[in-house]
Amino acid sequence: MKYTAAHWGSYQFDPGDTELTPLDGDPAPSRIGRGWVSAVRNRDARVMAPVARRGWLAGDRGAARCDDTFVEIGWDRALDLAASELDRVRQTHGNSAIFGGSYGWSSAGRFHHAQSQMRRMLSVAGGFTSSRETYSHAAAEVLFPHVLGLTHRAFQDQVTAMPLVTEHCDVMLAFGGLSARTAQITAAGTSTHEVAPWIHALKSAGVRVVTISPERGEAQEDWLAIKPGTDTALILALIHEILRLGREDRGFLERYTSGWPTLERYVRGDSDGIPKTVAWAAQICDLDAGDIADLAEELTRKRVMVSLAWGLQRADHGEQPIWAGLALACVLGQIGQPGTGYAFGYGSTTPVGRAARLIPWPSLPKAPNQVTDFIPVARIADCLLQPGQPYRYDGQTRHYPDLRLIWWTGGNPFHHHQDLFRLQQAWCRPETVIVNEHSWTATARRADLVLPATTPLERDDIMMNRRDPILLFMSRMFDPMGDARDDHTIFADVAERLGLRDAFTEGRSTDGWLRHIWARAESVAKAHGFALPEFDTFRTEGRFDVPHATERRVAFSQFIAAPDAHGLSTESGKLTLFNRTIAHMDLADCPGHPVWLAPIEGGALDSGTFHLITGQPDTRLHAQNDMGSEAQATKRQGREVCTLHPDAAAMLKLTEGDLIKLSNARGACLCAFRTSPDMRADCISLPTGAWLDVQDVDGTLMDVHGNPNVLTIDKGCSGLSQGNIAHTSVVRAERWTGPLPALRVTRPPVIAS
């Protein structure tokens, strides 16, 4: 038996198999995995050989980058060109003109992690401009150190264990919902999927899960169908009603928080003249005031978990709902108790709340990056369009670097970025774009050099996730397709041309690196009281289960038990409900305490316009596996499928088989549709990840495949975090009556060498 792993699960196979079987013991295997092999083996979607853009070879430095043909050039020439271009830019413009772009989702393996390989090579070559935070939760990543005294990663590691919620909670407020669909995945791989069984267990145990979302969700019966982007107003009103009832936990607020008097004055309306009453919130949130009041009263009598999904803060002013949610949990005074308190990320990814030991397994060693410049990850288009211009970030005024070379590995910004037509305009600004990629993504199609990379099914690696109880040796299942090479080999050969091979590889082959990482893992295991098998034994057996792997954590339990001995790393040593540091930044879009700020879009809607919801699909990870059988089977007429309420479909006069055009000032796309009563009638839900297919349709640029990010807004959620606001957009919908454009989402025109 052999094993392999991906961000959506772990699998087993026998040598010679052409299909994967989910790992024994996984209670709810991912749907995404059912399309993995077919996506990897889709020759029309794979990059089969090194290619260069024809215009770039002729001297064009970007004008035609987003619409050109490619020429096969062979590995030797491709590597020579990549190395010489990297050297030219660093010698002419300095290493800060090089941007290392990678989002880290290419492999669950510890060694063949594209982002790590690329950053190591660029670092030994003198450094590069990097990015910070993630598209997933940038607002939380910047906010949490200020208000929790923890990094986002550290807080995710200590979120209260799911079984404790089942055993001790009466009411879970699930802002943004609780989803097994989004919980199919985790960075660094997962052996099991516990969220779907957990949702069932919550219902069986009688826990009232209140879904607060424009969509009902997958398994909950109690639903507050809130208007998108208004959760902060609802939370403030719940706090106001608890204050009106006189049931706030004053003792908790005084001992464990700082800044409560300032926030209390705001909630009561003393500081701005607007009491945050249930009637006030009902108008903003489009909810019944009585339902809000009843919920607030119930919270004061029950054991409550305030849970916020990651997607909640991917919106304009995204810091506010997660900060307000913390305030509500503090007012209730149940933080630090088993099964209650405050959580961020339940259901957003597999291991949040997993009752497992945390073990800091090693990974590929980093090399020091001599370039200190960076940009917030979601500000790449701003950087390319506005070099040298200032921007605010976490109390600093920074300036965008002048990027001349982009090297992108293991990611697809033409999936996960916003306002993709704007990104396409920005993408023509650098002098050169180099992409390592196994498939013809929209980013690969917009590169100057494309270097074909292997997939995880075509190489050996090791899966070991600090939040997972199983270690797997990831065995190669297939030979590399075409001329594909793994990223380590590609970068080692580039480094050799720069005279840096030894600095990059440290004299180790791929097998040598796997053995080196395993040897370091043996030391980690020993420090945690158990022993790992020898490397060759592990390679043969393929699987190791960590002993005594269960650990039930309670968030902030040590702080609550002894706040003086275990003070938090905030400005006050406590949970901060008013933060002086943030207040002194003087940001209109992120003041010093949670506030209600109306989003940039989404006020009163005109007829035919809708709030756009862009959640994760259940058939792929972001855009990965979109060319696989599972994702393809869910499309209609080859297009992605949106969901709208039956009343909205009737208003638009839609019938079965129709296509819809969604549009706004930023762009337009075509999609199919289905109806569901389990969503607000003023919303349309279109999953992310359909491969971008931009075409000129009657003089208008349009994505004809159903990618919602041609419609979303490319703006930072605030001057604090500069996170993305993918969930703040309004679109116009209409039935498509024109001819149906043919799809062009796989191999672009390539001229054979």
For 653-708, the DSSP string reads T--TT--EEEE-SS-EEEEEEEE-SSB-TTEEE--S-PPP-EEEETTEEEESS--G
| CB count in 10 Å sphere of residue 666 | 18
In this predicted structure, what is the pLDDT of residue 102? Answer: 87
Helix (H) or strand (E) holding 473: strand 470-474
For residue 226, is it within any domain? yes
Q: Taking each helix axis as running N to C, give the angle between helix 114-124 and helix 487-497, from 0 to 180 degrees, rounded to the nearest 10.
A: 10
Q: Do 412 and 377 reside in the same domain of the chain? A: yes
Alpha-carbon distance of 268 to 107, in angstroms, equals: 50
Q: Do 118 and 169 reside in the same domain of the chain? A: no
Determine the average pLDDT of the residues in 453-469. 97
Whether residue 627 contacts residue 42, with contact meaning beta carbons closer than 8 Å, is answered with yes
Query: What CATH number is given to the structural domain containing 708?
Result: 2.40.40.20
In this predicted structure, what is the pLDDT of residue 219? Answer: 56
Q: Which amino acid is at 580?
A: R
223 is catalytic: no
Q: Do 428 and 282 reside in the same domain of the chain? A: no
For residue 595, is it within any domain? no
For residue 514, is it within any domain? no
Q: Which of 103, 198, 256, 736 is catalytic?
A: 103
Residue 269 confidence (pLDDT) above 60: yes
Determine the average pLDDT of the residues in 324-337. 98
Query: pLDDT tens, 539-594?
Result: 999 999 999 999 999 999 999 999 999 999 999 999 999 999 999 999 999 999 99
In this predicted structure, what is the pLDDT of residue 704? Answer: 98
Residue 649 confidence (pLDDT) above 90: yes
Q: What is the pTM of this model?
A: 0.97
Q: Which of 11, 36, 56, 105 is catalytic?
A: 105
For residue 255, is it within any domain? yes
For residue 520, is it within any domain? no
Q: Do 269 and 172 reside in the same domain of the chain? A: yes
In this predicted structure, what is the pLDDT of residue 97? Answer: 98
Q: Radius of gyration of the chain from Cα atoms?
A: 26
In this predicted structure, what is the pLDDT of residue 106? Answer: 80
In this predicted structure, what is the pLDDT of residue 45? Answer: 97
Q: How many domains in the chain?
A: 3
> What is each CA distance from 590 to 58, 339, 637, 716, 718, in whole angstroms?
48, 30, 44, 12, 6
For residue 140, is it within any domain? no
Determine the average pLDDT of the residues in 596-612. 95
What percent of the chain shows pLDDT beyond 70? 99
For residue 510, is it within any domain? no
For residue 678, is it within any domain? yes
Give residue 638's domain range: 609-735
Q: Taking each helix axis as running N to C, give the angle between helix 231-245 and helix 289-299, from 0 to 180 degrees, rounded to the nearest 10.
A: 60
Whether residue 730 contacts residue 609, with contact meaning beta carbons closer than 8 Å, is answered with yes
Q: What is the dihedral angle through the alpha carbons of 735, 740, 746, 749, rounded to the nearest 10 degrees? A: -140
Q: Do 164 and 313 reside in the same domain of the chain? A: yes
103 is catalytic: yes
Which phi-psi region, left, alpha or beta, contains residue 620 (left: φ > 0; alpha: ψ -120 to 50)? beta
Q: Do 119 and 186 reside in the same domain of the chain? A: no
Nearest alpha carbon to residue 622 among 3, 4, 8: 8
Residue 221 confidence (pLDDT) above 80: no
Q: Do 55 and 158 reside in the same domain of the chain? A: no
Query: pLDDT tens, 469-519?
Result: 999 999 999 999 999 999 999 999 999 999 999 999 999 999 999 999 999
The residue whose two tokens read 């939380």 is 140
In this predicted structure, what is the pLDDT of residue 604? Answer: 87
In this predicted structure, what is the pLDDT of residue 42? Answer: 97
Q: What is the DSSP string of 385-409?
A: HSTT-EEEETTEEEE-----EEEEE
Determine the average pLDDT of the residues in 146-173. 97
Q: Do 53 and 98 reside in the same domain of the chain? A: yes
Q: Do 423 and 286 reside in the same domain of the chain? A: no
Residue 286 confidence (pLDDT) above 70: yes
Determine the average pLDDT of the residues in 185-207. 95
Whether residue 131 contacts residue 316, with contact meaning beta carbons closer than 8 Å, is answered with no
Query: What CATH number is given to the structural domain containing 490?
Result: 3.40.50.740
What percent of the chain shows pLDDT beyond 90? 97
Alpha-carbon distance of 426 to 380, in angstroms, equals: 9
Q: Which amino acid is at 18?
A: T
The token pair at 444 is 């690969």
Q: Which amino acid is at 395?
A: G
Q: What is the SS3 assignment for 287?
A: coil
Query: What CATH number is given to the structural domain containing 569?
Result: 3.40.228.10
Read off the pLDDT band of 211 (50, 70, 90): very high
Which phi-psi region, left, alpha or beta, contains residue 287 (left: φ > 0; alpha: ψ -120 to 50)? beta
Alpha-carbon distance of 392 to 584, in angstroms, equals: 13
Residue 66 confidence (pLDDT) above 70: yes
Query: pLDDT tens, 352-367?
Result: 999 999 999 999 999 9
Alpha-carbon distance of 156 to 159, in angstroms, equals: 5
Nearest alpha carbon to residue 336 among 250, 248, 256, 259: 256
Q: Do 214 and 306 reside in the same domain of the chain? A: yes
In this predicted structure, what is the pLDDT of residue 220? Answer: 62
Q: Do 290 and 348 reside in the same domain of the chain? A: yes
> What is each CA distance from 753 to 70, 173, 531, in whole angstroms?
10, 60, 53
> What is each CA distance from 277 to 241, 360, 603, in whole angstroms?
7, 46, 20
Determine the average pLDDT of the residues in 191-201. 96
In this predicted structure, what is the pLDDT of residue 365? Answer: 95
Q: Do 396 and 314 reside in the same domain of the chain? A: no
